[in-house]
């Protein structure tokens, strides 16, 4: 019997937040995304594993994980 399993990652854009990049120092708006990872069985997502918020610098492309409270303090709607 052949069982096909794996991980699926999907991102949802949540808007822009104003930050200074910790890597390149670029000040300005960075995109805020919610990234969810799910376990898939036969390419069907069956089990949510992880959900995190990340910002992405438009200048250098670095992604940085941020806490939900930090995202809220920056004015983002992270209720879901």
Q: Is the CB of 24 or the CB of 44 nearer to Zn ion? A: 24
Least Å distance between CB 54 and Zn ion? Answer: 13
- Name which position in 17, 19, 57, 66 contacts Zn ion (CB under 5 A): 57
Site string for Zn ion, 3-42 (x = CB under 5 A): ------------------x-xx-x----------------
User: Residue 46, class by beta-carbon neighbours within 10 Å (0-12 exposed, 13-18 middle, 19+ buried)?
Assistant: exposed
CA distance 12 to 25: 25
- Write out the residues near Zn ion by the rule CB under 5 A: 21, 23-24, 26, 57, 59-60, 62
């Amino acid at each position: 019997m052949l069982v096909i399993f794996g991980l699926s990652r999907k991102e949802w854009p949540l808007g822009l937040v104003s930050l200074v990049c910790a890597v390149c120092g670029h000040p300005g708006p960075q995109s805020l995304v919610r990234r969810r990872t799910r376990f898939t069985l036969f390419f069907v997502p069956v089990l949510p594993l992880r959900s995190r918020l990340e910002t992405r610098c438009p200048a250098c492309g670095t992604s940085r994980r941020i806490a939900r409270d930090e995202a809220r303090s920056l004015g983002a709607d992270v209720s879901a």
